[in-house]
Structure 1
Amino acid sequence: MMATEKTHIAVRNLRLCTKDCLCLYVCPTGASDTENSIIDPEKCIGCGECAAACPSGAISLVPLSYPPQQMKSETVLAPALAMAREKARTEELARALAASAEDEGAGRLGAAFARATRLVAEDLLRESGYMLPQSKNAHDLLRALVAAPPSDDFPVAAAAERLLKLIPENDAAAVADAATDPAGAAAPATRTYRCLMCGAVFDVPEGEPPACPVCGAGEDYLELV
């Protein structure tokens, strides 16, 4: 049988994984490691046997090459980011209420509401072109985290550096910019902000209103670095 080029790898959603471990038995290369909740991307051949066997639907196949992230019009971006910022503020209020609640049930309810609003905000950010691994926005954020981690023990910096190496930037907006900008043109002036809500560090072009690309927090929740 002729070997075929690997086009996908399996990934596990830890929120859904129930440790049934059927993936261990069907994986032909031993890529699945349920003890550490990982699937080794080097061993995985993208056959999909684990995804088909998983009773909780926790395993999916993702492409190794992502299609270009399409540019969003301002009519889509503006309301989506505005809603994401409102969700970020709502999450902050819910977390504060959960932390100050004297009743355990009220505390759990506040924490659950905070989590729900964060999930909605994440969906809005994805729709806006953020948090997608191949997008220029995501790569800009990862580069900022590598260059200026929020703290010395920030655990995401190493992961961000690895993601930059693993996932090439494939963004329609970036391609368009490269086609229209003259080679060697000076980079536009930017200002660096730190988000007081999630700790992300990112750059914003001069003159543009700042907003955190991770949680959507607005200028009131940002500080200049």
Structure 2
Amino acid sequence: MKRIAVRNLRLCTKDCLCLYVCPNGATDTENSIIDTEKCIGCGVCADACPSGAISMVPVEYPPQQKKTEKVVAAMNRIAENKAKEEKVAMQLAASSDKPVFSKLMKAVARSARLSAEDIMREAGFMLPQNGNSLALIQQFADDPPTESFPIKEAEELLSSIECNDGGFKKKAKEGVRRYRCKLCFTEFEVEEGEEPVCPMCGAKGDDLELL
């Protein structure tokens, strides 16, 4: 399978070793993006990069395997289990007065969430939970790209999905206050007058941020 080199600009530390080892000059570009037309897929630059910023990726990915209903159902059960693990870990983190243990549980919760997201992605049901994706959906809902764009469905999606990286703030509804948990970063809404309590980890008071 033919592969080409790609550079992760966030990892690149400008060591420039790739410039000297590339036999075809594909890594020597003004914008730091490897020239795929010049790349011959030898992998020398990836081996030489001390920061691991260069990876070899296939030019064409193989077709996705067909998933039977039985497989998808099994993957969903695994994802649900990971979601429960995340909830338990965040509850333990919130209830512990030991910083090290609390930090460990937060790491376990984060790992469980990432595992669940990977499973859902493989099952073909990946939800747009990061801030950039949700902001894009909000933009489309506010300014539809086409006349047939499903605005109502987009708004329902935005109201039902929580941002998992804190990079998106939902529009506040009348008579409703929106909070973000500082412990598990879950965003949730409560009606005015009600005491806000994080539905994920049970945090209250100073552990919550009013959005």
- TM-score class, shorter-chain normalisation, is 0.3 to 0.5
* Structure number with larger C-alpha Rg: 2
Q: Structure with the greater relative contact order (CA < 8 A, sep ≥ 6): 1 or 2?
A: 1
TM, length-normalised to structure 1 = 0.46
